[in-house]
Amino acid sequence: MGYVKVPGKVTLLGEHAVVYGYPALVMAIDLYTRAAVSDGEGAVEVESTYPGGRAETRIGLDGRGGDELPYVKAAIKKVWELQGARRPAKVSIASELPYGSGLGSSASVSVATLAAYSLSYGVKLHPDQLAKLGREVEVQVQGRASPMDTLAVSLGGLIKISHEKFEVMGGGLSVKAVIACVGKEKSTGESVAFVRKRKDELGSRFDEILEEIGSLVESSSKAIKDRDLTQLCLLMNRNEELLEELGVVTERSLNLVRRARALGATAAKISGGGFGGCIVALGGDEKVASGLAAIADRVFLVTESNGVSYG
């Protein structure tokens, strides 16, 4: 019946400060979740593959089953609610995004499932709709969720987000990056709780750090509009220093950042909540990727991507 492709995302600026109302800059990347839908009988049958794993499940039209893939199940039920009917189908999902790495895997899978399964009803959802519905799926599964990830994977490109407002940034930078990932030591929720505790420990300095991170994001708007990649890199490097001061950068991630810069990256910083996960490096490309492969669990060469596409 149809096919969709949904990118992942990487955060370039604004981690943790965004939780306290400051803006963040996020970029869709060309690592994708692909989902296809075809006719089925009696249930929604799902086959899902992702780096390091594979799962199959069956979601009955009575809503039972599918708990192995909570984002997929919630997305299927969201479509039922939207369309007012329950249709059997076969849904095949293949993701290139490692789970829990900060690259938007849950947002990408949620949006891909919403888009693909809606095609079985003859409905092609608009990216704006997918961003909204995808966030609703993430809130249902996680209890709370920023609109940042689902906006990035649905709309694509570079997006500055603050509270519920967002701006799709132009500028034609065509950003290329190296992403290097290591295991997470804390979940995003645990990272946020750690930073909240640091607020008490750092006192007024905590507010100064977040305010400066917010100003870096605002400055990035001008850099993007001026197509000034060098300035964007300087802003990212300063953001990394502030995240290190917050205490969310592990020794292993710091080693990746230092190695990337030593190999010629113009910018290198963690991306996401910290305590492991991914770093993002701009400049250097293949040389940086090759050098980081020896000390990272996974390395990707990525470019800025468009949003949801239908095949």
- Closest C-alpha to 120, from 37, 222, 214, 15: 37
Is there a catalytic annotation at residue 149? yes
Angle between helices 148-155 and 105-119 (to 10 degrees): 50
Residue type (1 letter), 303: T
Residue 253 CA to residue 245 CA, distance in Å, equals 14
Who contacts 103 (Cβ-Cβ below 8 Å, separation ≥6)?
A: 8, 9, 10, 29, 31, 97, 179, 181, 272, 278
Active-site residue (options: 62, 128, 149, 228):
149
In the chain, alpha helices (H): 70-83, 105-119, 127-142, 148-155, 188-202, 204-225, 229-246, 251-262, 285-292
By annotation, the residues acting in catalysis are 149
